Structure 1
Amino acid sequence: MASPNISFDAIPASIRKPGKYFEFNTRLAVRTLPGNPQRVLLLGQRLATGSQAALHPVDVFSDEQAAQLFGHASQLHLMARAAITANPYVQLTAVAMDDPKDGTAASGKLRLNNRAVTQGVLSLWIADQRIDLPLAGFQSDSSILMALQQLVEKHQDKLPVRAQYLGTGELVLTARHKGFVGNSIKLRCQSTDPSLLPTIDKQLSGGTGGVDMSPALAAAAASGHHIIVCPQIEPYGMVFQLRSHVESVSGPLEQRGAIGVVGWTDSLAGGIAYTKQLNSGRMSMVWHRGSYQQPCQLGAAYAAVLASEEDPARPLNTLEIKGLDVPAMADQTMRTEQENALYNGMTPLEVGPGNRLQIVRAVSTYTRDPQGVEDESLLDITTMRTLDYVRRACRERVSLRFPRDKLSTRTPEKVRSEILDVLYKLEELEIIEAVEQNKDGVLAERDLQNVGMLCVKIPVDVVNGLHVIAGRIDLLL
């Protein structure tokens, strides 16, 4: 190659035969920023009735498909249903896991302390699902419980439990999955007949055994998902496995930026205890106290709404999460509780106009630096998502422009020029700002030890979300 400014990939400089030779160069074709579609990965337990083998990723497009793949009312089926309800256009992949072999299933009991006297309805809530049993009047407690058992079995496509009447005046409800997962299934029961007096456990209990998520995460690692949902927080370390995974694949060598999501439906204090342990800019815990839905459903729905916003810097405040239940008034979060949650790295939901569940502010669990000093640099989950997108945009640009270039004295300035072009385009979309003020900080220089390595420094001023407008009203008389 004799030209100082033109290089060829397919035309050798040693041609002797006369002719006019032209090749195509596509390295300069793309001048825009890359798109930013978000892919969600669900991890959850399957039932033996499902057709999909464990640890094999599969794309999911509908509720019914998920039921066929993972079993009706399985944990993974309910997660897929929640995600699709919250965002029907979500790009969804799922990896199924088997129940723990040494696990036990959680269970709960329903008792009737009298017989039915009048006609009416006995209503049973299992998680967020309600079934109604008509009462004919003057029915014995045993006949009612046997009829209720048949009704539960009739709705096995949507209920995460099985029912069994043992003839002892109690209906036993047992989780369909073995393991700790069943302990999150809440129960309610009420009757229009005041003489019936049902008594029911508040939620299932006694489920033991956890699932090792590492094989499932490894199975989907190469696919490059942006949002990964942990099915639950429990004593077996699943959420910490997810934290390790997202931090690993998002590192400077793999560069597949991802965040992890998990749902929490219990107390504020309990959730804060976990966020303090997680303390990661790549983990987000959504809090919906008093919900009768399982944490796996909450996490899946939240992840689907996160995926609906492709602008990484745009706040998610007030976005509705469709399909979530409205908690009782006593469980709805107050302002002071929401502030406490946000200061401790937990994303609270609130009931908005029209009884719609909305995100107050989407934050990560990162609140302190490695020294234990309070640090809000990665508080908003949009900050990490923005950094991931900026890295991707810069990386793709230099990959297109310099696929097999030489490192000469002119190369650093060429690379710097391309980086600056990307930064200015990002600024036009209000993803970053102050590029002109920071452009002197964009450096491209040769490494002092590796002769084939070019080092680049890119200062990035991330556009912050508009969360607070404070005003003063002056009274004039």
Structure 2
Amino acid sequence: MTPVNVFSDEDAARLFGRGSQAHRMARAAIRANDTLQLSVVGILDSEAGVATTGTLVLKGSASGTGQVRVSVCGETVAIAVASGDSAGALMLSLVEAINTLDVLPVTASLADIPPPSSGGKSPSKQLVLTARNKGACGNQIGVAVTVSAPGITAALTPMRGGEGDPALDAALTAMFSAGHTLVISPYASKTALTTLAAWLDKVSGPLEQRITMGWYRGSMLPNGELAAIYAAIIASESDPARPLNTLALPGADITPQDKWPGRSEQENALAKGLTPFEVNGSQVQIVRAVSTYVKNSMGVTDRSLMDITILRSLDYVRLACRARITQCFPREKLNDIRLQRIRSELLDVLYALEQLEIVENVDAHKDQLTVTRSRQDDSRADDSIPAAVVCGLHVFATTIYLLSGGQQHRG
């Protein structure tokens, strides 16, 4: 289980299987950001996993022409209907058409409808959709059906019944030393999130506050594909302090209008650590990118690390300081003069970051920048770096007041 670099849709299909969860997530990420530096760790389905299934039953005989259209994750498979076509023949045609489109996350087959509990054999057939990958993620696959031909009716059972997502431990272990700045996981169970949080804590410090989760009600796309699009757009922004508000999410589906949240619902989601996505015209965009850190260790609401840009900026400061120290002091002795030089270099880094508007007020806080010898290790220099991160402009509050009659006409 090794991370592999993926440069195209076809790379992902060849490596992980066309239509697999890994292929579709990589495909979504690359379509959203074609300059993305992407590596993927393939995970085998759990041996105890159960694949999600959904069913479609067509009935009747066509009394006119039209179409039967099945949409899976926003991709439509359509067949033509001629007058006189039977429901059974149409379902067989749909099976062939769905299986031809091998990028879909499902396969199709015909099966007998289970007999009623009272006994007996049902003579009818149903079209069964089965997720390519086992596990609960398949339950998120959105399916819809539309019939325009008269005389044909359709009954759709949504995708359900998937269980047993694979464990993340081995995949995360394989990534431990790779230095990734964004990690995308399609799994949102308590077990998966706990495993991810523990791993992130090991590679980068106290961390539940660094997880960011999108919220997009009514989407036909599985969580993994939405997460891949979201992460690809985060990666496209080179300025860590610049808000991601209004950035488009290419590839995200347009949800029905009755699923669109109001402003108060969006604010409620933000307060709970969720990043709302919203439809704006013909595209989907980020409302405000936040982390899941909403309360401190004492359970008190804490908004200091709410915005993901604050955390990305702190990471940027850390990497910039580390890069400068490794460049300037690769083979040095540790003495008081060296400590002063290290402090000078770190201060220079902060001034450069101030010019980039990533931190501010460096002069006001520079006395807090300290570099000292460790009391526990004579070969270690301990530094404390103040970083007044530049916050994003997210709220514009205005007061409009009416002047009295005399004031209005005074001039």
Q: TM-score range by the shorter chain?
A: over 0.9
Unaligned runs of 5+ in 1: 1-54, 253-258, 260-279
Match of 1:166 among 105, 111, 117: 111
Check the 8 A contact 1:106/1:182 in 2, yes or no: yes
Check the 8 A contact 2:212/2:274 in 1, yes or no: yes
**Following the alignment from structure 1 to structure 2, what is the Cα–Cα distance between the partners of residues 192 and 408?**
82
Is 1:314 the equivalent of 2:242? yes
**Following the alignment from structure 1 to structure 2, what is the Cα–Cα distance between the partners of residues 177 and 400?**
46
Check the 8 A contact 1:445/1:456 in 2, yes or no: yes
Aligned pairs for 1:346-385 within 5 A:
346-352=274-280, 354-385=281-312
Unaligned runs of 5+ in 2: 113-123
How far does the alpha carbon of each residue in 1:390-429 deviate from its partner, in whole angstroms, 9 at most, with x for none?
1111112122222232222322222211111111111011
Is 1:175 the equivalent of 2:131? yes
**Following the alignment from structure 1 to structure 2, what is the Cα–Cα distance between the partners of residues 356 and 471?**
29
For residue 313 of structure 1, give the secondary structure of its aligned residue in structure 2.
Answer: coil
| Residues 449 and 75 of structure 1, relative CA distance in 2, 3 Å threshold | closer
Shift of 1:181: 2.1
Query: Mean Cα displacement is larger for which, 64-73 or 339-348?
Result: 64-73
Name the structure 1 match of 2:118: none
**Following the alignment from structure 2 to structure 1, what is the Cα–Cα distance between the partners of residues 133 and 43?**
11
For residue 165 of structure 1, give the secondary structure of its aligned residue in structure 2.
Answer: strand
Check the 8 A contact 1:141/1:169 in 2, yes or no: no
Aligned pairs for 1:368-447 within 5 A:
368-447=295-374
Name the structure 1 match of 2:35: 89
Name the structure 2 match of 1:136: 82
| One-letter code aligned to 1:322 | P
| TM-score, with length taken from structure 1 | 0.80
**Following the alignment from structure 1 to structure 2, what is the Cα–Cα distance between the partners of residues 361 and 208?**
32
| One-letter code aligned to 1:440 | D
For residue 229 of structure 1, give the secondary structure of its aligned residue in structure 2.
Answer: coil
Check the 8 A contact 1:149/1:165 in 2, yes or no: yes
* Cα RMSD, aligned residues only: 1.6
Same amino acid, percent of matched pairs: 43
Shift of 1:175: 1.1
Check the 8 A contact 1:318/1:358 in 2, yes or no: yes
Name the structure 2 match of 1:117: 63
Aligned length: 393
| One-letter code aligned to 2:63 | V
Check the 8 A contact 2:186/2:227 in 1, yes or no: yes
| One-letter code aligned to 1:373 | V
Name the structure 1 match of 2:178: 223
How far does the alpha carbon of each residue in 1:64-111 deviate from its partner, in whole angstroms, 9 at most, with x for none?
221111111110110011101111111111110111112121111111
Query: Mean Cα displacement is larger for which, 56-65 or 292-301?
Result: 56-65
**Following the alignment from structure 1 to structure 2, what is the Cα–Cα distance between the partners of residues 301 and 110?**
29
For residue 41 of structure 2, give the secondary structure of its aligned residue in structure 1.
Answer: strand
**Following the alignment from structure 1 to structure 2, what is the Cα–Cα distance between the partners of residues 362 and 451?**
42
Shift of 1:323: 0.9
For residue 410 of structure 1, give the secondary structure of its aligned residue in structure 2.
Answer: helix
Check the 8 A contact 1:247/1:282 in 2, yes or no: no
| Residues 449 and 92 of structure 1, relative CA distance in 2, 3 Å threshold | closer
| One-letter code aligned to 1:448 | R
**Following the alignment from structure 1 to structure 2, what is the Cα–Cα distance between the partners of residues 382 and 292?**
28
Check the 8 A contact 2:279/2:285 in 1, yes or no: yes
**Following the alignment from structure 1 to structure 2, what is the Cα–Cα distance between the partners of residues 373 and 62?**
45
Any runs of at least 4 consecutive aligned residues in structure 1 with deviations exceeding 6 A, and if so which? Answer: none
For residue 160 of structure 2, give the secondary structure of its aligned residue in structure 1.
Answer: coil
| Residues 388 and 171 of structure 1, relative CA distance in 2, 3 Å threshold | same
| One-letter code aligned to 1:217 | L
| One-letter code aligned to 2:293 | Y
| One-letter code aligned to 1:310 | S
For residue 176 of structure 1, give the secondary structure of its aligned residue in structure 2.
Answer: strand
Name the structure 2 match of 1:197: 153
Is 1:245 the equivalent of 2:169? no
Name the structure 2 match of 1:213: 168
**Following the alignment from structure 1 to structure 2, what is the Cα–Cα distance between the partners of residues 359 and 451?**
48
**Following the alignment from structure 1 to structure 2, what is the Cα–Cα distance between the partners of residues 350 and 453?**
49
**Following the alignment from structure 2 to structure 1, what is the Cα–Cα distance between the partners of residues 49 and 347?**
56
For residue 396 of structure 1, give the secondary structure of its aligned residue in structure 2.
Answer: helix
Name the structure 2 match of 1:148: 94
